[in-house]
């Protein structure tokens, strides 16, 4: 039998999606499953984007430019200017989702065996992208006791070697919901300039920040022009996950020129999706105000209900729509499977994402779960009640 590659064998499973067969089996048994495991918003896609697809007059769906259409990139640059970020259309490459943007970034700045430092827990697919690129993740652990704030900058400095090429953050964070402060961004800026590294920021949740705190982009930080790479996406901003449109943004001309070669190799991003996403940029501010208000209500409800459960510790997120909860269990992976296979409360159960998959350090996060608060308030209350009842009877 032909052998599978080491890279393929080492490719990690998604902690978010690997439990899907268990959930499907639970549904077949007649259980109602409350899905807290995946960041698929239930918010309606802006009508202006849907109308752009319905009303387009294309006679041929042709390739677009490899870097994305100029009209779309120009409009993206205007969006950034509205957010106090000065970039031009030629600083932007449109990609097939934020995932491809990350893969292009990794391929453009790192060779096999190089290292990237990432505060953990982090978006689980960073592990996958690193494996696919032959890059080694070097984690620096942030703690639930500190609400997953940026670890001391000295901890980053200890990990820098000749193989280190970049530091990667998600701001606001998936899976923690932590929002890095301007001061923390400045600390990171200082260290990447000192050691001549790239600073990659996954900023796809930029709109989702709460409690009057403002998002500070690495593209706003003076002196980072040659170091800063932003990963962005329409998926969560406009509730357009299936459009699969993201983008790379950087003022580093050598980086953009290199990333464009990867973009040319895959020909072009989806033409129809770009039409919808360009139209989505005309979404009124009222849409975001309403969405943010809804997520604040959901966050507050979720945190309040979780804090009522004995033995549960939860970090309060200031952005995105995720939180990490620590449970009184030894292994949340086993607990998550048990919830779907063996437990129900009033014929309902919940699906959560075990948090160990959001770490690269073995054995860390085993008793934590990530919760996506993408359900309405009543459903969240019900889901947390199910968790509470489950914890009363679960045996490790």
- CATH number of the domain enclosing 195: 3.40.640.10
Structural domain including 306 reads 6-44+286-393
Domain endpoint, select from 280, 296, 327? 280
Split into its structural domains, the chain has a count of 2
Sign, CA torsion 317/323/326/327: positive
Of 249, 202, 226, nearest to 85 by C-alpha is: 249
Does residue 52 form part of some domain? Answer: no
- Model confidence at 15: pLDDT above 80: no
Residues 6+ apart with CB under 8 A from 384: 302, 305, 306, 309
C-alpha 121/C-alpha 118 separation (Å) is 9
Q: What is the pLDDT of residue 36?
A: 93
Same domain? For 19 and 62 the reply is no
Does residue 171 form part of some domain? Answer: yes
- Confidence bin at 14 (pLDDT 50/70/90): confident
Q: Are 224 and 189 in contact (CB under 8 A)?
A: yes
Q: Are 68 and 90 in contact (CB under 8 A)?
A: no
Take residue 36 and report the two structure tokens written for it: 């807290």
Does residue 377 form part of some domain? Answer: yes
Residue 386 parent element (H or E): helix 377-393
- Model confidence at 60: pLDDT above 90: yes
Q: What is the pLDDT of residue 18?
A: 79
Same domain? For 100 and 243 the reply is yes
Same domain? For 267 and 294 the reply is no
Does residue 23 form part of some domain? Answer: yes
What does DSSP assign to residue 234?
S
CATH number (domain holding residue 363): 3.90.1150.10
Q: pLDDT tens digits, residue range 349-393?
A: 999 999 999 999 999 999 999 999 999 999 999 999 999 999 999
Q: What percent of the chain has pLDDT over 90?
A: 93
Q: Are 369 and 336 in contact (CB under 8 A)?
A: yes
Angle, CA of 242, 174 and 89, to the nearest 5°: 60
Does residue 75 form part of some domain? Answer: yes
- Model confidence at 68: pLDDT above 80: yes
- Confidence bin at 31 (pLDDT 50/70/90): very high
Of 339, 319, 17, 4, nearest to 184 by C-alpha is: 319
- Confidence bin at 231 (pLDDT 50/70/90): very high
Q: What is the pLDDT of residue 107?
A: 97
Give me Rg for the CA atoms of the chain: 21
- Model confidence at 200: pLDDT above 80: yes
Q: What is the pLDDT of residue 12?
A: 84
Q: pLDDT tens digits, residue range 239-295?
A: 999 999 999 999 999 999 999 999 999 999 999 999 999 999 999 999 999 999 999
Same domain? For 272 and 303 the reply is no
Read off the pLDDT of each residue in 48-77 and give the average, rounded to a whole number. Answer: 96
- Confidence bin at 114 (pLDDT 50/70/90): very high
- Model confidence at 16: pLDDT above 80: no
- Model confidence at 304: pLDDT above 90: yes
Does residue 295 form part of some domain? Answer: yes
Q: What is the pLDDT of residue 38?
A: 82
Same domain? For 183 and 304 the reply is no
Burial 63-76 (b: 16+ CB within 10 A, else e): ebbbbbbeebbebb
Domain endpoint, select from 240, 255, 280? 280
- Confidence bin at 100 (pLDDT 50/70/90): very high
Mean pLDDT rounded to a whole number for the chain: 95
Same domain? For 21 and 114 the reply is no
C-alpha 323/C-alpha 273 separation (Å) is 30
Does residue 13 form part of some domain? Answer: yes
Q: Where are the beta strands (DSSP E) in the chain?
A: 32-35, 92-95, 115-120, 136-141, 164-170, 198-202, 228-233, 246-249, 313-314, 322-326, 348-351, 353-354, 368-372
Domain endpoint, select from 264, 280, 296? 280
What's the distance, Cα to Cα, between the start and end of the chain in Å? 39
Q: Are 354 and 336 in contact (CB under 8 A)?
A: yes
Q: What is the pLDDT of residue 17?
A: 75
Same domain? For 197 and 298 the reply is no
Does residue 348 form part of some domain? Answer: yes
C-alpha 115/C-alpha 167 separation (Å) is 9
Q: Are 283 and 48 in contact (CB under 8 A)?
A: yes
Same domain? For 353 and 251 the reply is no
CB-CB neighbours of 232 under 10 Å: 26
Read off the pLDDT of each residue in 318-335 and give the average, rounded to a whole number. Answer: 96
Q: What is the pLDDT of residue 222?
A: 96
* Helices (H), ranges, 35-148: 47-54, 70-82, 97-109, 125-133
Read off the pLDDT of each residue in 216-242 and give the average, rounded to a whole number. Answer: 97
Read off the pLDDT of each residue in 116-129 and give the average, rounded to a whole number. Answer: 95
Same domain? For 241 and 346 the reply is no
Same domain? For 208 and 306 the reply is no
Same domain? For 292 and 276 the reply is no
- Confidence bin at 49 (pLDDT 50/70/90): very high
- Confidence bin at 7 (pLDDT 50/70/90): confident
Same domain? For 68 and 148 the reply is yes
């Amino acid at each position: 039998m032909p052998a599978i590659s080491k890279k393929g064998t080492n490719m990690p499973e998604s902690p978010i999606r690997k439990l899907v067969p268990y959930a499907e089996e639970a549904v077949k048994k007649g259980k109602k499953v409350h899905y807290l495991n995946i960041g698929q918003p239930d918010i309606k896609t802006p009508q202006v984007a849907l109308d752009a697809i319905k009303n387009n007059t294309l006679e041929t769906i042709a390739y677009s430019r490899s870097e994305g259409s100029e009209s779309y990139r120009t409009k993206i640059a205007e969006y950034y200017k509205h957010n106090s970020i000065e970039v031009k259309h030629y600083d932007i490459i449109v990609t097939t989702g934020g995932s491809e943007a990350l893969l292009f970034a990794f391929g453009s700045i790192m060779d096999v065996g190089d290292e990237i430092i990432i505060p953990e827990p982090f978006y689980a697919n960073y592990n996958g992208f690193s494996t696919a690129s032959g890059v080694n993740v070097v984690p620096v652990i942030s703690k639930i006791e500190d609400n997953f704030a940026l670890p001391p900058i000295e901890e980053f400095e200890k990990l820098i070697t000749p193989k280190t090429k970049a530091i990667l953050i998600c701001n606001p964070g998936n899976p923690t919901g932590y929002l890095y402060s301007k001061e923390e961004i400045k600390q990171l800026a200082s260290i990447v300039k000192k050691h001549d590294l790239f600073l990659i920021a996954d900023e796809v949740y930029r709109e989702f920040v709460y409690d009057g705190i403002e998002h500070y982009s690495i593209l706003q930080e003076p002196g980072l022009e040659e170091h800063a790479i932003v990963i962005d996406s329409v998926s969560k901003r406009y509730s357009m996950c299936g459009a699969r449109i993201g983008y790379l943004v950087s003022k580093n001309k050598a980086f953009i020129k290199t990333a464009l070669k990867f973009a040319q190799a895959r020909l072009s991003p989806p033409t129809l999706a770009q039409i919808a996403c360009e139209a989505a940029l005309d979404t009124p501010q009222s849409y975001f105000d309403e969405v943010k208000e809804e997520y604040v209500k959901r966050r507050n409800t979720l945190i309040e209900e979780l804090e009522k459960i004995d033995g549960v510790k939860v970090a309060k997120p200031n952005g995105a729509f995720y939180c990490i909860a620590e449970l009184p269990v030894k292994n949340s992976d086993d607990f998550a499977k048990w919830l779907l296979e063996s437990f129900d409360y009033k014929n309902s159960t919940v699906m959560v994402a075990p948090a160990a998959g959001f770490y690269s350090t073995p054995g860390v996060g085993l008793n934590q779960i990530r919760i996506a608060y993408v359900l309405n308030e009543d459903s969240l209350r019900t889901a947390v009640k199910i968790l509470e009842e489950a914890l009363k009877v679960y045996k490790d």
